[in-house]
A = this chain, B = another copy of it.
Amino acid sequence: MRVRQQDIARATGFSINTVSLALRGSPRIGEGTRKLILAEAERLNYSPNRIAQLLVGSASRTVGLILTDVMNPTLTLAARTIERKLSEAHYGMMFAASGHDVEAERRALLRFQSYQVDGVLVYPADNGRLEHLERARDAGVPVILLANAETTLDVVTVDDEAGARKAVGHLLARGHRRIGMIDGSGTARTSPKVDGALRALAEAGLPRAALEVVRPEGNSARDGHSAMGALAAGRPMPTAVFASTDALAIGALKWCAENGRSVPADLAVMGYDNTEIAAYCALPLSTVHYAADTISALAVDRLIEVVETDRREPPVVRRLVEPELIVRGTT
């Protein structure tokens, strides 16, 4: 079957652990023997059994990534960046998608732990249910959260509240006084984007009623389309709309096109974006943009730092990166 150190030992006449040491380049092994053993290993096409190495207790140089759903372009970009950074640092990656299901997240976490991952990056299924992650951290598995939440876990993510505040602040500065918001944060207890929008209102001295929030089920363009319909049905109809993702905003724009609302003349639509689609479709869509790749890279850096500096109680990090406003068209 597979070639083991045993086989190299037999073939060269050395003992098995001389082989082991030689393969790992120990200085205790003579130059000559080392070359001999390496040559034989090469010839037999030996590749080490990581499972056995792990059992004996080394670091796995593997980290787990749990996302809610890869189809979300932001998370896709995050996944790519994370995979690349890890790969550069010679770490492998295990992957799981929770589908916003806390149970699935828990199972994935257990699986990762049983594979002895060195750490875990999590975009959590539910901001309010993080006990299992905290328990894992307490059991010695470094965990970095890729979303903002009330927790003692390390957090590296975008500052959505600041972003939404910028977006709505911009709309208010342009004179809009009735803002619709399409918020796709789903079942999450809290919505930093809504909080940010409300803060912008407060800062402008406007009442909460100036913001009408619609919460579609998902985050697809289809959801944005129907949500825009719901906003339009309300009285008074908003003059500007802030959508929590670019797909929702694109759906809203489609509704406007179909219903003869010109954008931004009649109505301004603003999205929260991370992809190039809006730009390339030349849509009249201003956005609040953040570099999901940059932020993911920061998260990986932090994880590797925690993993490799093997301290018992590293200080908790809470790093929130503020997104930028990008105005397209005249919104």
* Chain A residues packing against B (C-beta within 8 Å): 2, 47-52, 54-55, 69-71, 76-77, 79-80, 83-84, 87, 92-97, 99, 104, 110-111, 113-116, 139, 220-222, 225, 250-251, 254, 257-258, 276-277, 280-283
Contacts and interface: CB of A to CB of B under 8 A. Distances in A.
5 contacts: A47-B110, A51-B114, A69-B80, A250-B281, A258-B282
A83 B71 contact: no
B83 A76 contact: no
B97 A95 contact: no
Contact of A71 (B71, B77, B93, B281): B77
A48 B87 CA distance: 28
A93 B95 contact: yes
Given A69-B80, A280-B221, A281-B250, A96 B87 contact: yes
Contacts of A79: 70
Contacts of A276: 220-222
Contacts of A76: 70-71, 76
Contacts of A94: 92-95
A104 B51 CA distance: 21
A282 B54 CA distance: 53
A219 B254 CA distance: 25
Contact of A281 (B2, B83, B116, B281): B281
Number of copies: 2
Given A55-B55, A93-B95, A87 B104 contact: yes
Nearest to A251: B280
Contact of A96 (B83, B220, B283): B83
Contacts of A251: 280
A116 B51 contact: yes
Nearest to A283: B281
A110 to B, nearest CB: 6
Contacts of A257: 282
A70 B51 contact: no
B282 A254 contact: yes
A94 B47 CA distance: 19
Given A83-B96, A221-B280, 17 more contacts: A47-B113, A51-B114, A51-B115, A70-B76, A70-B83, A71-B80, A80-B97, A92-B96, A93-B94, A95-B95, A220-B276, A221-B277, A222-B276, A250-B277, A250-B281, A251-B280, A281-B281
B115 A97 contact: no
Nearest to A277: B277
Nearest to A61: B111
Contacts of A48: 114
Contacts of A84: 97, 99
A189 to B, nearest CB: 26
Contacts of A49: 55, 114
A96 B93 contact: yes
A96 B92 CA distance: 8
Contact of A280 (B2, B93, B254): B254
Contact of A95 (B83, B280, B281): B83
